[in-house]
A and B are shown apart, each in its own frame.
Chain A
Amino acid sequence: MFVPGAEVRPHYRRLAERLGSMPENDFNQRRAAVDLAFLRQGVTFTVYNDSEGTERIFPFDLIPRIIPNAEWRKLEAGLIQRLTALNLFLDDIYHDQKILKDKIVPTNLILGAKHFRREFMNFTVPRGIYVHICGTDLIRDHDGNYLVLEDNLRCPSGASYMIENRAAMRRAFPNLFRSYGVRPVEGYAETLLKSLRHIAPDRSEKPNVVLLTPGVYNSAYFEHCFLARQMGIPIVEGRDLVAQGSKVYMRTTAGLEQVDVIYRRIDDDFLDPTVFRPDSTLGVPGLVNAYRSGNVALANSIGTGIADDKVIYAYVPKIIKYYLGEEALLPNVQTYLASDDTDRKFILENIEKLVVKSANEAGGYGMLIGPASTKAECENFRAQVAANPRNFIGQDPIMLSRSPTWCDGKLEGRHIDLRPYILYGEKVTVTPGGLTRVALRKGSLVVNSSQGGGSKDTWVLQGDK
């Protein structure tokens, strides 16, 4: 079934041989067993705007994506460089704003950004770390170079799928791993817990770390439980916490217990109704002021969204150069800013050939893929860009690299991306692996789970083959 041809890259060759010798029936059985296991365990996500029951499994493709060691080393260095620089950027933006004064990044982009939290100017975050958990989306162009598509610095999700996908693969092909030398991803939870403990206030030797979830109906609820479980920390909802005298406590059966670190999976807007959205019932009134008083630490910090704004994204190579004096190891995708007069003209004239994105949306929403859209859709976006230039960017569509994927009983090339997870604790580390998302619809470039995407296990090899 898996015919090795000229196009198989060397590090896939052994896999091709192994799968080639497997009867198709056998392969299909393993596929079905993996799907069933996901459903049984409830490894699901919730689909919004779907009247049907709402829980679905994330379609999983049994053909792994394989990254040789040398390729990974380059990636890793680039990701560490990027997060280090973005953290320095956040620290500067919320303090002296040198980068604005030196006119590297235009001030009005910061002041006009939706996620700029003016409430946190001059606030010093614990240990100077703003982003503890980062998921960076990467793609490969047709020459095989990795490019950064976007940074996720607020509440990046998907790490649990990285670990669950690996578990599924181990069950389906227990022997492959031994012979292949695949680096493990299971250390993620432990490193995450260490990073969280790293920012605890000095109060106690054994800080109380909790994971704050919006609740069972959140699309990533499975992941919240999974991570809390892996780390052995309580998962709490807003109503389990209470702020008193600028300290945060959880309500336990034995009374109130002080909390030191909150790994929050709730957006800034919903964290504290006293300070942000007053209609939020998910958050904890008084939490922000407890954070301000230094009695509790938050990961990620508040206001990090300013650095993953799609307009600021265009400036990241300059940001890296400014703070680190280095060239960016991982380049951006060519980006046009609608806020710039020349670029805006270019976008408006070429909208049919570009990918246009709204600055602050995520999950594939608020996005136009020109070549795949109707005339009316393009017109609609053209008007939106003209009316609110600050909020839009245009990008050249990248022919995402394709990876062999099992579709309707045969292997076909499908577009993929990669989201590795970077953790910032005592130092910056990248878990060897990540979430490879695949656009299951033929020709589609959208890999988001909410829009018909699936995933693959990602193998980072100890060697190069």
Chain B
Amino acid sequence: MILRLLHRTTFIYAGQARDSFNEARLCPVDDPTQSRRHFVLRTDPVVTTRDYRDFYGNIVHYFDVTAPHHQLVIEAESEIETTPNDVRAPIPAVPVSELATCAERELYAEFLNESFYVPQAVELWREAQDAMAGQRFTVWADAIRLGRHVYQTFAYKPRTTGVSTRATDALAQRTGVCQDFAHVMLGMCRSIGIPARYVSGYFFNRGRQPDDIEASHAWVEVMIPGHGWAGFDPTHDRAADERYVKVATGRDYADIRPVSGTYRGAPTRELRVEVAVTRSDPMSAPA
């Protein structure tokens, strides 16, 4: 599936801003599930951008706008070809007992440790125990059960959480958005020894209504020993398939913030985020 993505972030200031330094993680990754055909990052005011690859392999663009400006627009445009569902390697059934002995255990230790948004907390562990109901199957099946548990016991309610909400806060209120669903699922997976990481990206919504708002999305990947990372979306209760485009991965939201920076000047009056995901290859015939 070929998807065309436009992600435009606009900061409008209540006055002038200057000495603005920013990092953007908006460039989709290139991996076995997707290939990047095209990417361009534009800013207004126009400045030179540079980039580096961070610890998790994400491409980070950085730039500074020193001159005074009233608004800052960061626009990322890309075209991604995702690997069709039917040619993806099937996820093997690996018993959970292998987690303790597998070669990956050392390598992915940090996806078992706590991170800023996903603390090691008794509540998350208990929640995972409840969801497991005393039975363990395979790594992938257990991960799905945890994700499904979040999907079933949480209410999707925008504006009940914010950028600083941690997994434990979201769990206490059982509401939130995709970011919170992902954080809670991460905490539960890690508490029972499944290495899990946060994924930011986009989701092509086939059944989208004209006034549905499109936004960036977040889900979880778990490490399947001998296979690699496998994605599950607890907000929609399904595995990440060809409709999902990965932009960045990390321990939690803190590692993948799409845009982050500092500046001097007036406070931000308005933050506008526009995301458009369109399909650019000819539609396959409806099944």
- Chains A and B belong together in one complex: yes
Most chain A CB atoms below 10 A, which of B50, B66, B110, B263 = B110
A112 with B113: CB separation less than 8 A: yes
Q: How far is the CA of A108 from the CA of B195 in the complex (A)?
A: 12
B260 with A285: CB separation less than 8 A: no
- Say yes or no for A388: interface residue by CB 8 A criterion: yes
**Residues A119 and B54 in contact in the complex (CB < 8 Å), given A112-B109, A112-B113, A285-B262:** yes
> Within 8 Å CB of B23, what residues of A?
274-275
**Residues A244 and B66 in contact in the complex (CB < 8 Å), given A274-B260, A274-B261:** yes
- Say yes or no for A373: interface residue by CB 8 A criterion: no
- Say yes or no for A334: interface residue by CB 8 A criterion: no
Q: How far is the CA of A242 from the CA of B261 in the complex (A)?
A: 15
**Residues A278 and B64 in contact in the complex (CB < 8 Å), given A108-B106, A111-B110, A388-B120:** no
Choose among B54, B56, B110, B260 the residue that contacts A112 (Cβ–Cβ < 8 A).
B110
A285 with B110: CB separation less than 8 A: no
Q: How far is the CA of A244 from the CA of B62 in the complex (A)?
A: 12
- Say yes or no for A106: interface residue by CB 8 A criterion: yes
A242 with B113: CB separation less than 8 A: no
Q: For residue B195, give the distance in angstroms from its CB to the closest CB of chain A.
A: 11
Q: For residue A202, give the distance in angstroms from its CB to the closest CB of chain B.
A: 20
B110 with A108: CB separation less than 8 A: yes
Q: How far is the CA of A158 from the CA of B248 in the complex (A)?
A: 43
Chain B residue nearest to A390 in the complex (CB): B113
Residues of A within 8 A of B (CB): 100, 106-108, 111-112, 118-119, 121, 242-246, 273-275, 278, 285-286, 289, 292-293, 387-388, 390
**Residues A289 and B109 in contact in the complex (CB < 8 Å), given A242-B19, A274-B22, A274-B261:** no
> Within 8 Å CB of B21, what residues of A?
243, 273-274, 285-286, 289
Q: Which of B235-269 contact A (CB under 8 A)?
A: 260-263
Q: For residue B9, give the distance in angstroms from its CB to the closest CB of chain A.
A: 16
Chain B residue nearest to A239 in the complex (CB): B264
A292 with B55: CB separation less than 8 A: no
> Within 8 Å CB of A289, what residues of B?
21, 50, 62
Q: Which 4 A-B pairs have the closest CB atoms?
A: A108-B109, A118-B55, A111-B110, A285-B21
Q: How far is the CA of A243 from the CA of B19 in the complex (A)?
A: 9
A106 with B55: CB separation less than 8 A: no
Chain A residue nearest to B53 in the complex (CB): A122
> Within 8 Å CB of B54, what residues of A?
118-119
Q: For residue B111, give the distance in angstroms from its CB to the closest CB of chain A.
A: 9
Q: List 13 contacting pairs A-B, 8 Å CB cutoff, sorted by A.
A: A106-B106, A108-B110, A111-B109, A112-B113, A242-B19, A243-B64, A244-B64, A274-B21, A274-B62, A274-B262, A285-B261, A285-B262, A292-B52
Q: How far is the CA of A18 from the CA of B50 in the complex (A)?
A: 67
> Within 8 Å CB of B110, what residues of A?
108, 111-112
> Within 8 Å CB of A278, what residues of B?
260, 262
- Say yes or no for B172: interface residue by CB 8 A criterion: no
- Say yes or no for B107: interface residue by CB 8 A criterion: yes
Q: How far is the CA of A242 from the CA of B56 in the complex (A)?
A: 29
> Within 8 Å CB of A292, what residues of B?
52
> Within 8 Å CB of A243, what residues of B?
21, 64
Chain A residue nearest to B56 in the complex (CB): A118
Q: For residue A272, give the distance in angstroms from its CB to the closest CB of chain B.
A: 8
B262 with A273: CB separation less than 8 A: yes
> Within 8 Å CB of B48, what residues of A?
245
> Within 8 Å CB of A118, what residues of B?
54-56
Choose among B50, B56, B109, B261 the residue that contacts A107 (Cβ–Cβ < 8 A).
B109
Chain B residue nearest to A288 in the complex (CB): B62
Chain B residue nearest to A244 in the complex (CB): B66
Q: How far is the CA of A107 from the CA of B104 in the complex (A)?
A: 11
Q: For residue B244, give the distance in angstroms from its CB to the closest CB of chain A.
A: 25
> Within 8 Å CB of A108, what residues of B?
106, 109-110, 112-113
Q: How far is the CA of A118 from the CA of B251 in the complex (A)?
A: 12
Q: For residue B17, give the distance in angstroms from its CB to the closest CB of chain A.
A: 12
Chain A residue nearest to B250 in the complex (CB): A118
**Residues A285 and B19 in contact in the complex (CB < 8 Å), given A244-B64, A245-B64, A273-B262:** yes
